[in-house]
Amino acid sequence: MRKMIAAAAGLLLAGPLLTTMSPAQAAPAANSCYVQSGGITTGNDSVDRYVNSTSPITVKPVDVMAKNPFGSLPISLSTQWTWDDDFGDEMSLDGHIVSGDAMYQAHQWVQKGTGGKVVSSSLVKIGSGWSAFRTLTQSWSLETSGWRVYALRGDGSLFRWNLSPQNNGTEVWHAAGSYPGFSAVKAVTLLSRTPTYDSLLATTWGGALYSIRIPLSSPMKPIVTPLRTRTWGSFERLLTARCGNYGTLLLGIDKDTGAGYLYAVGHANGTATVINSLGKVPATFDDRIDFSWGSVVDAPLNGD
């Protein structure tokens, strides 16, 4: 994998964008999609903001989804969170967090219309050893069976777990492979989920942007493909949302400046992938932890 990334980083940038594009190559429309950006604030509140791909970009004011749901527990990593408001006066929130060396399955019931008042909250410890990891990416969809979590360890090894929900609401985690050679990776997010593979989108410290297709077969053998080879290194966080039948809306966050930039990304096609910059987001991303929110009825990502 080290050789694969080094070789790919030596490729030239793609030429001019195609003037005619098939649906599988086309970037999504710029006025029909949004990223539900989430975060954990310095006060430990869970918040969200809708970043809309209008022209110009518009942002819904920040909402508190859950008021101080973790108490004084320090959070270092978070997966994407899902919400479900089909419970009368309450809303269900679910995700996974890392605090210290431990991973937790987190759940809250929140009373609607109260600014995030938490009715009840639970943290179920999954295991230890998580302080060694620096990224956490979740692949999920109600349309396809099973949930998966990918985590990048500090030494550059990418790990996968399959999650099996139990009748009592807890989960059983099954180790499902690992692969070395990703020490150059800086930020990771989900790009696609299918019945046969997941694809991640990643930036490198050197500024490249890659897709990482990971077949669900065993052993785990990722396929790394460069989409761009420079200018992407400033982003510490990447958030994605499905946009249309073939594309992805991508929010890149520069934590050094608190700036966010929005992109419409066509179906992954190596360096020929269409990536249209929609501009700088008129908001400051200064939360301690960034993640994306998703409704339980969202269709799976399909960017690769």
Mean pLDDT score, 54-67? 96
Q: Are strands 77-78 and 63-66 parallel, antiparallel or unpaired?
A: unpaired
pLDDT at position 101, please?
A: 97
Q: CA 4 to CA 292: how far, in whole Å?
A: 29
Mean pLDDT score, 251-263? 98
More confident residue, 275 or 165: 275
pLDDT at position 142, please?
A: 72
pLDDT in tens, 10-60: 322 222 222 223 333 344 444 579 999 999 999 999 999 999 999 999 999
Return the percentage of the chain with pLDDT > 70, whole number: 89
How many CA atoms, within 13 angstroms, populate the side-chain half-sphere of residue 277?
8
pLDDT in tens, 104-116: 999 999 999 999 9
pLDDT at position 169, please?
A: 73
Mean pLDDT score, 237-249? 94
pLDDT at position 166, please?
A: 78
Mean pLDDT of the chain: 89
More confident residue, 11 or 66: 66
Mean pLDDT score, 283-294? 96
pLDDT at 143 over 90: no
Q: CA 212 to CA 258: how far, in whole Å?
A: 27
The pairs formed by 151-159 with CB atoms below 8 angstroms and a separation of 24 or more are: 152/182, 152/185, 152/188, 155/180, 155/183, 156/180, 156/181, 156/182, 156/183, 156/184, 156/185, 157/181, 157/182, 158/182, 158/212, 158/222, 159/133
Query: Pick from 159, 163, 184: which is nearest to 173 by CA?
Result: 163
Confidence of residue 145 (pLDDT cuts 50, 70, 90): low
pLDDT at 3 over 90: no
pLDDT at position 144, please?
A: 65
pLDDT at position 6, please?
A: 36
pLDDT at position 117, please?
A: 97
pLDDT at 129 over 60: yes
Q: CA 283 to CA 72: how far, in whole Å?
A: 27
Three-state DSSP string of the chain: CHHHHHHHHCCCCCCCCCCCCCCCCCCCCCCCCEEEEEEECCCCCEEEEEEECCCCCEECCCEEEECCCCCCCCCCEECCEEEEEEECCEEEEEEEEEECCEEEEEEEEEECCCCCCEEEEEEEEEEECHHHEEEEEEECCCCCCCEEEEEEECCCCEEEEEEEECCCCCEEEEEEEEECCCCCEEEEEEEEECCCEEEEEEEECCCCEEEEEEECCCCCCCEEEEEECCCCCCCCEEEEEEECCCEEEEEEEECCCCEEEEEEECCCECECCCEEEEEECCCCCCCCEEEEEEECCCCCCECC
pLDDT at position 108, please?
A: 97
Confidence of residue 226 (pLDDT cuts 50, 70, 90): very high
Structure tokens at 239: 């958030």
pLDDT at 86 over 80: yes
pLDDT in tens, 150-200: 999 999 999 999 998 777 778 899 999 999 999 999 999 999 999 999 999
Confidence of residue 245 (pLDDT cuts 50, 70, 90): confident
